């Protein structure tokens, strides 16, 4: 073979090797599940309003996330930029505006967010695909009826029991748990007592050490159904 022929062969061989090496080195992209993908509606039975909430969580850092409704309509699209995009995110919670029922009846809000399986997709910083789903329903519990403390009353911190009636409506509702939140109204940052209890529990005792004499406290009891939708009843009281 002539020198020119050997040179042409060597060049061709190097070109083939250059094309092969990237393919050998590249790793196939994975499809990974989100650690958490939830969508729910929260109703405030006292204030008379409602909003949509979502939780997104991933064990791998992501740079973009998209949420689509059961009809394929994109309602949420977020992407990290600059240094945050390079570093990635792992957890996100958002809550929509909560229009009053006078401005937008609950039925109108529900029309905007149809029942069914919602799709969550994303891309990790490393280029892998993230997927998840959330089954969203319109099954919303009625607000808990708080038995004690009486709204606006003065309470003895030594015997502070939050008591409410079990939520059994609307028909077919299945309560998974309740959440009780007590917050000192005039303290910054707020001092907060926050506890989840199973559906079989309808009273909670708050330790007297939490309270200060003569202070105002806001109270919330949330009924949370098995699909995640929740309804709040609010109240307030004063400690002796």
The DSSP symbol for 215 reads -
Token duo for residue 230: 């929740």
Question: 77, 51, 43, 14: which is closest to 223 by C-alpha?
Answer: 43
Which residues pair with residue 54 across a beta bridge?
A: 39, 94
Q: Does 125 lie in the same domain as 91?
A: yes
**114-159, pLDDT tens digit by residue?**
999 999 999 999 999 999 999 999 999 999 999 999 999 999 999 9
Strands (E), 160-215: 161-164, 175-184, 192-198, 203-205
Q: Does 104 lie in the same domain as 169?
A: no
Which residues pair with residue 229 across a beta bridge?
A: none
Domain closes at, from 86, 110, 136: 136
Give the whole-angstrom CA distance, residue 29 versus residue 131. 13
Q: Does 207 lie in the same domain as 121?
A: no
What are the φ/ψ torsions at residue 121 (nearest 5 degrees)?
-135, 155
Q: Does 150 lie in the same domain as 129?
A: no
Q: Give me the percent of the chain exceeding a pLDDT of 90.
A: 85
> How many domains does the chain divide into?
2
**44-72, pLDDT tens digit by residue?**
999 999 999 999 999 999 999 999 999 99
CATH code where residue 185 lies: 2.60.40.10
| Domain ranges, residue 166 | 146-239
| pLDDT over threshold 60, residue 21 | no
């Amino acid at each position: 073979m002539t020198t020119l022929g050997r040179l042409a062969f060597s060049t061709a061989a190097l070109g083939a090797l250059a094309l092969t090496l990237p393919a050998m080195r590249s790793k196939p992209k994975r499809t990974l599940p989100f650690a958490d993908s939830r969508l729910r509606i929260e109703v405030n039975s006292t204030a008379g309003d409602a909003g949509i909430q979502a939780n997104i969580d991933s064990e791998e850092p992501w740079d973009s996330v998209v949420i689509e409704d059961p009809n394929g309509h994109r309602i949420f699209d977020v992407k990290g930029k600059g240094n945050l995009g390079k570093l990635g995110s792992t957890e996100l919670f958002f809550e929509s505006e909560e229009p009053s029922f006078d401005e937008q009846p609950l039925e109108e809000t529900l029309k905007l967010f149809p029942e069914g399986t919602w799709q969550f997709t994303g891309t990790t910083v490393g280029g892998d695909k993230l997927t998840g789903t959330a089954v969203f329903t319109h099954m919303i519990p009625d607000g808990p009826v708080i038995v004690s403390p009486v709204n606006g009353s003065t309470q003895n911190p030594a015997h502070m029991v939050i008591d409410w009636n079990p939520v059994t409506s609307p028909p077919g509702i299945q309560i998974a748990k309740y959440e009780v939140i007590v917050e000192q109204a005039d303290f910054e940052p707020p001092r907060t007592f926050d506890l989840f209890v199973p559906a079989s529990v309808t009273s909670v005792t708050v330790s007297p050490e939490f309270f200060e004499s003569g202070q105002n406290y806001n109270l919330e009891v949330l009924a949370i159904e098995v699909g995640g939708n929740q309804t709040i009843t609010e109240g307030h009281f004063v400690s002796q």
